[in-house]
Chains A and B, each alone.
Chain A
Amino acid sequence: GQNIDQPTEMTATEGAIVQINCTYQTSGFNGLFWYQQHAGEAPTFLSYNVLDGLEEKGRFSSFLSRSKGYSYLLLKELQMKDSASYLCAVLQPSGGYNKLIFGAGTRLAVHP
């Protein structure tokens, strides 16, 4: 079967650092994405990892360990506008193509 797990909710303080973890078990793997989604809006792309290691992009970084089926999203210098849901998604091969399978998302609340 396939399973993508991430914590349901997290809280953090403005200016702090937060790490959102994601573990996955999927039949096939062609990369892992992180998306940000504000309530009632479309998800927006944050990061993509296909090789092991850390990808840094401004205040956001994403890490992948394929052998452990594990990824995390690191958010630094938190701002109030970072309050949103963060979706972990695995790109899975399917009949010669790819499709994205999503976790349930982590709802992050940033407090002053």
Chain B
Amino acid sequence: DGGITQSPKYLFRKEGQNVTLSCEQNLNHDAMYWYRQDPGQGLRLIYYSQIVNDFQKGDIAEGYSVSREKKESFPLTVTSAQKNPTAFYLCASSIRQAGGYGYTFGSGTRLTVV
């Protein structure tokens, strides 16, 4: 079955450490996205990528980095520069123009700083 997989589901990080969240899709989608969701809030766009080897900053990119070396993969690194990283992170993918099909979301990674 085609889908989008995020791992791990839960992640704990010590302050000052970098951590990488995985996102893989087998839907042959060109575009991939990372969102952050805080309790009681909507999704805020961190980074997005429309094609391999290209990506753009979203609204809250500071303290995060991404790579897009393969069409199927769009990992997100939460760096020590991110001051408040505890949140629910969602990865999504879509056909290039999204249109009426919208996004397909992964099941999310809950990151907690301890």
The 4 closest A-B pairs by CB, nearest first: A42-B105, A104-B42, A102-B42, A102-B43
Majority-rule SS of A interface residues: strand
Q: Which residues of A contact B (CB under 8 A)?
A: 4, 8, 30-31, 33, 35, 40-45, 48, 50, 87, 89, 91, 94-95, 97-105, 107
B43 touches A48 (CB 8 A): no
CB distance from A46 to the nearest CB of B (A): 9
Given contacts A100-B98, A107-B40, 15 further A-B contacts (CB under 8 A): A30-B98, A40-B88, A40-B108, A41-B108, A43-B90, A44-B105, A48-B101, A97-B50, A98-B98, A99-B48, A100-B33, A100-B92, A101-B45, A103-B42, A104-B41
B43 touches A31 (CB 8 A): no
B residues 73-114 in Cβ contact with A at 8 Å? 88, 90, 92, 96-103, 105-108, 110
Q: Choose one: A44, A99, A104, A105; the contact of B45 (CB below 8 Å).
A: A99
A31 touches B99 (CB 8 A): yes
Q: Choose one: A41, A89, A99; the contact of B107 (CB below 8 Å).
A: A41
- Could you say which residues of chain A place their CB within 8 Å of the CB of B56? 94-95
CB distance from A45 to the nearest CB of B (A): 5
- Could you say which residues of chain A place their CB within 8 Å of the CB of B106? 42
- Could you say which residues of chain B place their CB within 8 Å of the CB of A101? 45
